[in-house]
Structures are given as C-alpha cells and as structure tokens.
Structure 1
Amino acid sequence: MDIAPMTKRDKILLYAVLMLAFIVLYVRFLLIPGIGSLQQARADLTEAQDAQITMQETILQAGVNAADKNTAWGELQTANARYYSILTSDELDTLVTGLELNHSMQPVSLSIGQPLTQSMTGYIAGTQAGQSPAPAGSAAAAVTADQVDTTAAGNALLQQFLAADLVPSYDQPGYLQTSDVTFSCSGEASNFLSLLDDLADNYPSIQLQNFSITTRSFAAADGTSSSGSIYNVTLRVVLCDKGGVQP
C-alpha cells in the first residue's frame, strides 16, 4: 500500500502535536521540579538567615549575659556573707555568748545541740507552716508584744535567701544543717528586748524558736533578799556549706 504524501495541513498538525508534547514534557520534567527546588532553596535561605540573626544576637548578648552573671554572683556573695558556715561547738558558744554580752546580758547557762542535716524543701515548708510559738504567761506576753512582727520578718527574710540563693552541697543537693542552741541569761528587760530586735533584724541565719521568763531570788550585796528575771531562749542556727555554692 502506497503512503500518500503529507500535505501542508498534515505537516502543520504534526508540528503542533510535537510542540505540544515538548511543552508538556518541559513543564512536567523541567519547570515544575525547578520551581520546587527554587521554593526549597528560598526556604533554606530564610532559615539560614534567621539562624544567622539569632547567632549574631547571641554573640552580642554574650557580654550582657557575662555581666549579669557577675552581678548575680556578687549579690549571692553579699547574701552569703550573712550566713554561717559549718561551725564547731566552741564557735557557736562564742557567737551566742557574744550576742548576750553585746546587749549587757549576763550568761547563766548554755546548751548546744548536735547539727542536723535536713532537706531544704522540707525546712522551708516547715518554717512557712508556723513561726516560733509564744511563751505562756501574761508577763511573757507583754515582753513579746513588739517582737511578733520583727521575728516573722526575720524568718521571712531567711526563707527568701535560702530559697533563692543558698543551695549548699552535702551528700545530696538541696540540703542544709541546723543546730539548736539553748541558753539562759539575766539582765534588764529592755536589754533583752534589744537583743531580740537585733536578732530579728541582723541575724537572718539565726531563728528564734521560743523563750520563757522565770524569776529567781538572790541575796543582794547588803544582805537583803532581791529578785530578778532569767530569760530562757532556744535558737536555731542555720549552717550552710558555703564552699558548695559556685558561680
């Protein structure tokens, strides 16, 4: 069978079909993948630019962060200076006796308990649950009337410092040691009130647990009988391992 020669119309139609096929193949296998690659490249570029900006901001912030760290460390050292490291019995004796003598009180007796290690979390919860109990008796109540606010303020200050700054390092993190000190002294009631005020305002690492007042009789220099007050006080001294606090 003879093949008829292609007419001009057939040639135009064949050319159109070939061009259409070329366009379809170009769009399908070249243009669409190219657009996808371009979009991915733009996304990668945006991500890289964001990462670069973040890194530059971090580098610029490094100096500020270092300054903030030094400032925080200085504040910690300032707060830390108001607390006692692990003290011996003799050092606790000197601390408490010195406090009495500074307020013209005469030491009568002193008892120092063994240091106890306890959890800081439980310790803070316990101090928040209740403050030092008030002693019984109308005379004692009169003495403690202006001590409630100052003692509570001192305890609140202690809790703030302990919770925020002082996390000592013992066998496990978050532990501290305390030692109970019980002493008796004699002297004027005004001097004893001054001692309690000083304790609440300037000794955040010493907590007043309780105190009571008793009366005793003694012979005066002229041979007559006289009486005076004995103040029985229990303190809790917080002992921190300052070496465990690092910048």
Structure 2
Amino acid sequence: MEMAPMTKRDKILLYVVLMLSFIVLYIRFLLIPGIENVQQAKADLTEAQDAQTAMQETILMASVNAADKNTTWGDLQNANAVYYSLLSSDELDTLVTGLELNHNMDPVSLSIGEAGTQNLTGYAAGDNAGQTAAPAGSTAAATDADTDAVTADTVGTTAAGNAILQQILAADLIPQYDQASYFRTSDVTFSCSGDDSDFFALLDDLADNYPSVQLQNFSISTRSYAAADGASVTGNVYNVTLRVVLCDKGGVQP
C-alpha cells in the first residue's frame, strides 16, 4: 500500500509539532535548569561576599580585640592582687599561725575548712552589707583606703583593689568567668591565748591590712590550758572564726 504524498497542510502541521516539542524540551531541560543554576550562583556569591566582609571586619578588629583583651587581663591581675590564690591547708595554717605569733598570741587549736565556691556578700556591719561581690553601686567602696594590704601574693596593695575587681566582674567578665567559681572561701577557726591588748591589736591588723580575710565572729573565755612549758595556766582564750577569700587566678588565662 503506497503512502499518500504529504500535502502542504500536513507538512505545516508536522513542522508546528516539531517546533512545539523543541520549545517544550528546551524550556524543561535547558532554560529552567539554567535559571536555577544562575539563581544558586547568585546566592552563593552573596554568601561568599558576606563571609568575605565578615572576615575583613574580623581582621580589622583583631588588633583592637587583642588590645582590649590585654587591657582587661591586666585590669584583672591588678584587681585580684588583693586576694589570695587557692591556698592549701598548710599555707592557710602558716598564714593564721603567723598572724597569731606576730601579735604575741599563743596558738591553742586550729581548724581549716575546705575551700568552697559561693557568691560573696558584704560584711554584715559594713557599708556594703547584703550586697553581692559585684553590686552595681559598690564600685566606690574602699577607693579612699590608703593602708597597705598584706596578702600571700603581694605586699603594698590596698583594699581599693576590691572596687576594681567589682567593676570588672560587674561588666564584661561575668559572661566568661562564673563569679561563684572564680571566688572561693575557706573558713578557719582557731583558738589562742594571751593578753587582751595583743588580741585587739590582732583584730585591728586584720581590719587594716588583710582585706581578703573576713572576721566572722570571736569570743573570749577564761579557762585553764597547758602553757608551752607544760604547766597549767588560767587565762583568757580567744576563739576566732575567719573567712579567707581565695581567687582562682590560675583558672583564668588570657
């Protein structure tokens, strides 16, 4: 059976079908993927440009951040100089016993508690009573003090370091260094014997020169005790509880 020759109309219809097929295939497999690729490329370019801008800003701020870090670290070291490092029991023993002997007191007993972490509060009888270690309004405390502070780390600093440390802790350092773990305290209870005048001089020395040692309480009793030569002596015995403020200086690095 012979095929009828294609008429002009058939040829036109065939041409139209081929052209429509070509257009559909072009749009589906070339145009749409191309548009998607262009859009993805633009998004990648924008992301890369944003990353480049951020890196450039970081590079520009590197020197400023390094300077701020060094300044803050120096301020921290100056501020915490008034506080003791994490002293061992033997070091606390040496500190307290030396204080007694320096004031002609005879040690009778000594008990040293474990160093614990906590939020420190102001001395109950002081201007900052009830305030925490970094209160917003206590930065002026002790700024006018001009007496020397004797600590395990330094000699010649004053209680003004308290105000500096409070300012630092109240500002940028709180998010980085938890206050409760940065400060630690150890309660030391001791008994000693001697004269009232020497004991009161010891208390004055504590108040004037030991800003990181807080007097919690004391009592005076009269009883018989063994003197250094073994003889039984009747006299005053002074029972004292101190709270030594320790600072985890080694746990914070620049």
Residue 237 of structure 1 aligns to a residue in which SS? strand
Aligned to 1:52: 52
- Aligned partner of 2:97: which letter? D
Task: Assess, with a 3 A threshold, how the Cα gap between structure 1 residues 30 and 90 changes in structure 2: closer, same or farther.
Answer: closer
- Aligned partner of 1:195: which letter? D
Aligned to 2:96: 92
Deviations 1:75-102 (A, max 9, x none): 221222111243363443334666xx6x
Out of 115, 125, 136, the position equivalent to 1:148 is 125
Query: Distance in 2 between the 1:181 and 1:208 partners?
Result: 12
Deviations 1:139-158 (A, max 9, x none): xxxxxxxx713473798478
Aligned to 2:31: 31
Question: Does 1:186 find its partner at 2:196?
Answer: yes
Query: Distance in 1 between the 2:196 and 2:178 partners?
Result: 36
- Aligned partner of 2:31: which letter? L
Quote the sequence identity (%).
53
Deviations 1:82-139 (A, max 9, x none): 11243363443334666xx6xxxxx54445634433331xxx26x66xx88xxxxxxx
Residue 12 of structure 2 aligns to a residue in which SS? helix
Query: Distance in 2 between the 1:156 and 1:33 partners?
Result: 64
Q: How many residues align?
A: 198
Residue 246 of structure 1 aligns to a residue in which SS? coil
Out of 159, 164, 168, the position equivalent to 2:179 is 164
5+ long unaligned stretches in structure 2: 135-161, 170-176, 223-235
Computed over aligned residues only, the root mean square deviation of the Cα atoms, in angstroms, reads: 4.3
Aligned to 2:230: none
Query: Distance in 1 between the 2:105 and 2:81 partners?
Result: 30
Larger helix percent: 1
Residue 149 of structure 1 aligns to a residue in which SS? coil
Task: Assess, with a 3 A threshold, how the Cα gap between structure 1 residues 232 and 89 changes in structure 2: closer, same or farther.
Answer: closer
Query: Distance in 2 between the 1:155 and 1:181 partners?
Result: 27
Question: Does 1:208 find its partner at 2:187?
Answer: no
Deviations 1:153-197 (A, max 9, x none): 7984789679639738xxxxxx66553344565249xx77x938x
5+ long unaligned stretches in structure 1: 102-106, 133-146, 169-174, 216-228
Aligned to 1:235: 242
Question: Does 1:116 find its partner at 2:131?
Answer: no
Task: Assess, with a 3 A threshold, how the Cα gap between structure 1 residues 58 and 25 changes in structure 2: closer, same or farther.
Answer: same
Instruction: Kindly state the Cα deviation for residue 3 of structure 1 after the two structures are TM-superposed.
Output: 2.6
Query: Distance in 2 between the 1:240 and 1:32 partners?
Result: 66
Larger Rg: 1
Aligned to 1:22: 22
Scaled by the length of structure 1, the TM-score of the pair is 0.59
Scaled by the length of structure 2, the TM-score of the pair is 0.58
